[in-house]
Structure 1
Amino acid sequence: MTNEPTVLIVEDEPDLANLYAAWLREACDVETAYNGSQALEAIDETVDIVLLDRRMPGLSGDEVLSTIRDRDLDTRVAMVTAVEPDFDIIEMGFDDYLVKPVSKDDLLSTVDQLLLRSTYDDQLQEFFALASKKALLDSQKTEAELRASEEYRRLEDRLAVMRAKVDDTISELSNHDAYQRVVRDISRKT
């Protein structure tokens, strides 16, 4: 069993799909689907990232994306398409959007960023679960009871470790160019 993330490339141009797969194969387990129907057959809970063409014959990328979200799969989706973004993207459930032509560096960077965001989501969930338990115990137990509890000390230690991990991930996210561009764009618009 491998620890490499699984990326599903959904692209109706086989040469382009195979090129993307070659670029990613060193860092990921790669699967390809050449139309929307194949994509829906291939996508399951083992797929970490979907690189999805938006305009395909038959089932469009928009329809595939909607089905992925309806299935409530915990996967990141990046649209990789020649379709220029318009206001319709606001309600779409993708995580990133790349306009073709896409360079190898852009594709690899996007996959890295999406994987990092997934890690961050998991870390945040665990952090908030631990913080919630601590807050509950803090409100229900006396200071003496808290000090006397080995379980409470372990909880505090786990919470401190998770806080450090979350801080490290935030720092790593902050160092990525894509994240910096988003923050800059948001700051400019507000």
Structure 2
Amino acid sequence: MTLSPEERREAIFAALEEVHAEVGLDGATMQVIARRAGMSKRTLYDVFPSRITLLRAYMDRVAEQFIQPLPVSETDLPIAERLSRILTRNARHQGYGLPLEILRTFMAQVPACPEIGRDLVDRLMQRDLRILTQELQRGVAREEIHLDDTGQAAALLLDMVRPWPIESLLDPARLASPEAFAARRCLAIEVFLAGVAVRRGDGAP
């Protein structure tokens, strides 16, 4: 059976997750990943020319699964529900352990290769900010919330939703459980909306 390019990439990502769960990121060599994915090492290198390329592509995939714009069918929901759905569009079934390990690996390389850090910020983090900023702008236009700077507000909300990763980077055992992440998300949205609610004199009808 011949896999499509996208199916081949997904098989490689699945193999990376499985190998990481068993032996950690250090043991996830290209040879081991290729064997687990059921392909030759040469085929793997045809898809991803290097291990770093593979890890960066995986991080792109993680980012795409974390935050996505709402479909048109959901844009008429109340803003609290819209924000909740944006921030939980695709729950990560395998957790955040692997992305954190990859991030730790990239951070160690930043002094010698600063473009790696810039790339993560520009492509991954800015993408999330754009999507969330657009939704906050929708809320302002509908007079659901009052904000002067939706970009800064989006950055603040993301910081509230996502626990500061330094503790988890230093001690993986401190990584919050899915339940703790969900509770933090709900509280963050509640507190955020209370702070930006439209009040009398802010332009409310």
* TM-score (structure 2 length as normaliser): 0.26
* Relative contact order, higher structure (CA 8 A, sep 6+): 2
TM-score (norm 1): 0.27
Q: Which has the higher helix share?
A: 2
Greater percentage in strand: 1
